[in-house]
Structure 1
Amino acid sequence: MDRWDRVGRCAAYGAALALSPYLLIKVSWVVGSLLGVTPIGEGFNQAGWVLLNTVTIGMAGIGIALALALVRPWGMRIPGWLVAFCAWTGSGFLVSVLPYAVLSTLLDSARGGSGGGGGGDEAAMPGWEAALVQFSFVGMGLGLAVALPSYLRRRWPDAFTGRLGDDTRASAPWAAVVAAVVGLVWLYWAAGGTLGLSRPAERNTNGYVLTGVGAFWALVGSAAFWMLARARPAGLPRRLLLALGWLGSGSLFAWSGWKLPLTLLVALVHPADVTPPENLAVAAVLHLAAVVAGATMLRTLVGSRPRTPAA
């Protein structure tokens, strides 16, 4: 077992351990609300509160099982595509949470700790619970980001060997171009640009930060995929570019795959209490492009293999 593998295994156990406080908090909320000893979140009745938190308990359990599948022997017996897709999507969501959590906390502190509050969960939890929930998400995201490439390397070792210039080039370089365009638009919005926005005044600091983080991962994934597709510059380790390509494409697919149906729903229903800053048509096109680019990058990365020398 080399150093890369040891770090990945520790990260997987750490991810499962980090998510455990979130699971326990959610269980306590369900049990406490049924017994009448803990408050129900603002805007919920008891049935809705129990249903919401039961779903998140299931999601947390899946997340812990996924982290353990990346390190335990039984994880190698699960169909590889299933583990890879779930971990790819989960890490795509959570790697964006890591810098967002740090930056939003720093910005909230600079504003005097006003926070961004307001949701039902926030109304029901004291500060120490909020800190544990944030720790769970950050720890899970960081753990998956490190453990996933290690698992992939153990499962498909040939794909992670060699350096650029030793392998066949990845196909579909257009996906890197699409991802870069999406990332640049998001970066423009995060920097304060208003083209493509219908309600610029609706933006807030957390929105700027999250958009900027999405732009960062889109551009990182695009750059890594482009280098793999062009096989340049020669000599770079494949495993580094594959890891960055996996994380960047996962972020593109996961976040836009979640936001695209919500954007279409808002465009069709026009709810009075939902006023997104983006022009809905522009946002839908960007999210669709991000989903297609992310999925194409994944498909190509999975099929990317180094050239085996002739006998």
Structure 2
Amino acid sequence: MERWDRVGRCAGYGAVLALSPYLLIKVLWVVGSLLGLAPIGEGFNLAGWVVLNTVTIGMAGIGIALALALVRPWGMRIPGWLVAFCAWTGAGFLVSILPYAVLSTVLDAMRGGMADSRGEDSALPGWEGALIQFSFIGMGLGLALALPAYLRRRWPEAFTARVKDGTPTAVPWAAAVAAVVGLAWLYWAVGGTLGVARPAERDTYGYLLTGVGALWALAGSAAIWMLARQRPARVPYHLLLALGWLGSGSLFAWSGWKLPLTLFVALAHPTDVTLPENLAVAAVLHLAAVVAGVGMLRSLVGSRPRTPAGTSPAPLHT
């Protein structure tokens, strides 16, 4: 077994172990709230709390199954499109957020700790918050290492090819949409107030999270543009593929999660939930991000790297 495969397998099993506390905590929240033994989250009734946490339990279960599929032999027999979609969405959620996790931890340390900088939440004990953060970071790191090893085993040509030379094709519309969304988010991240209804409700962590999302959107857009223009040929194909993969996945996953929340706040007008951004503007940007993410993925699937003579790219459905 090659060293890269050994690292990937260890990372996959590590991701399973890291995400397990999150899954257990969520199960305990649901069971405890139904039995009246655990508090309900602020701003939720019992039904809403159970539904939300049941959904996240399912997502955690899918994440654990994905991590195992990346390292177990049976994972090579699963249809490629199914593994690719789950890995794309999971990486969009967790791998893309790793820069925020690192930078926010540095900010916490500079401000004297999480409790001092963000305030204490009586509904969430500190040890639960630490375990949840550990699960997210551990799963993200695990996917970041296990996924390339899996892809390298299943589609090795993507790791040996370079951007093909030839006649450039039209830049996909999705890359342009992603660039517009990324620039809008970057404008908000640097303090812009156009399209922000409640500027006073924004904080440093909100600026940071928005900025990370903007950078992934712009990086993914640039990668798709370079793949479409087929320049420069010296750039490894897998590098552009990774940037396009993570950028499009981040757009789809996070905006796919935030869009329903934004619509709920806009339609239901809950008294205890507000968002800084203008809800109509935020909804349009999230919808555009979801559509752009899907369009960028289609461009990636349709791209063909230049491979050595006598070989051909393996189809995604194998």
Give me the TM-score of the superposition, normalised by structure 1. Answer: 0.86
Once the two structures are superposed, residues 80-102 of structure 1 have per-residue CA deviations (whole angstroms, 9 ceiling, x without a partner) of 11111111111101124322222
One-letter amino acid of the structure 1 residue matched with residue 161 of structure 2: G
Corresponding position of 1:271: 270
Distance 2:7 2:211 in 1: 29
Corresponding position of 2:203: 204
**Aligned residues of 2:16 and 2:68 also touching (Cα < 8 A):** yes
One-letter amino acid of the structure 2 residue matched with residue 190 of structure 1: A
Corresponding position of 2:128: 129
Distance 2:166 2:62 in 1: 36
Corresponding position of 2:85: 85
The CA deviation at 1:137 is: 0.5
Counterparts in 2 of 1:251 and 1:3: CA distance versus 1, 3 Å: same
Secondary structure in 2 aligned to 1:213?
A: helix
Distance 2:272 2:95 in 1: 29
The CA deviation at 1:265 is: 3.0
Q: Can you give the 5+ residue segments of structure 2 that lack an aligned partner in the other structure? A: 311-318
Matched residue pairs, number? 307
Corresponding position of 2:74: 74
Distance 1:296 1:142 in 2: 26
Secondary structure in 2 aligned to 1:165?
A: coil
Secondary structure in 2 aligned to 1:40?
A: coil
The CA deviation at 1:214 is: 0.5
Provide the alpha-carbon RMSD of the alignment.
2.8
Once the two structures are superposed, residues 244-290 of structure 1 have per-residue CA deviations (whole angstroms, 9 ceiling, x without a partner) of 21111100111111222322333333333333221222222211221
Corresponding position of 1:248: 247
One-letter amino acid of the structure 2 residue matched with residue 75 of structure 1: G
The CA deviation at 1:217 is: 1.1
Counterparts in 2 of 1:123 and 1:85: CA distance versus 1, 3 Å: farther
Identity %, equivalent residues: 80
Distance 1:28 1:288 in 2: 33
Once the two structures are superposed, residues 91-147 of structure 1 have per-residue CA deviations (whole angstroms, 9 ceiling, x without a partner) of 1011243222222233233333324357xxx53443233222211100101211232
The 5-angstrom pairing of residues 1-311 of structure 1 reads 1-29=1-29, 39-43=38-42, 53-113=53-113, 114-116=116-118, 123-166=122-165, 172-307=171-306
Secondary structure in 2 aligned to 1:254?
A: helix
Secondary structure in 2 aligned to 1:123?
A: coil
Counterparts in 2 of 1:278 and 1:214: CA distance versus 1, 3 Å: same
The CA deviation at 1:191 is: 0.8
Counterparts in 2 of 1:169 and 1:302: CA distance versus 1, 3 Å: farther
Secondary structure in 1 aligned to 2:95?
A: helix
**Aligned residues of 1:168 and 1:307 also touching (Cα < 8 A):** no
Task: Tell which deviates more after alignment, 285-294 or 161-170.
Answer: 161-170
Distance 2:238 2:63 in 1: 24
Distance 2:170 2:69 in 1: 30
Distance 1:22 1:210 in 2: 21
**Aligned residues of 1:94 and 1:137 also touching (Cα < 8 A):** yes
Task: Tell which deviates more after alignment, 106-115 or 227-236.
Answer: 106-115
Counterparts in 2 of 1:170 and 1:73: CA distance versus 1, 3 Å: farther
One-letter amino acid of the structure 2 residue matched with residue 273 of structure 1: D
Distance 1:219 1:123 in 2: 38
Counterparts in 2 of 1:50 and 1:200: CA distance versus 1, 3 Å: closer
Give me the TM-score of the superposition, normalised by structure 2. Answer: 0.84
Distance 2:308 2:27 in 1: 55
Distance 1:142 1:228 in 2: 26
Task: Tell which deviates more after alignment, 76-85 or 98-107.
Answer: 98-107
Distance 2:177 2:228 in 1: 14
One-letter amino acid of the structure 1 residue matched with residue 240 of structure 2: L
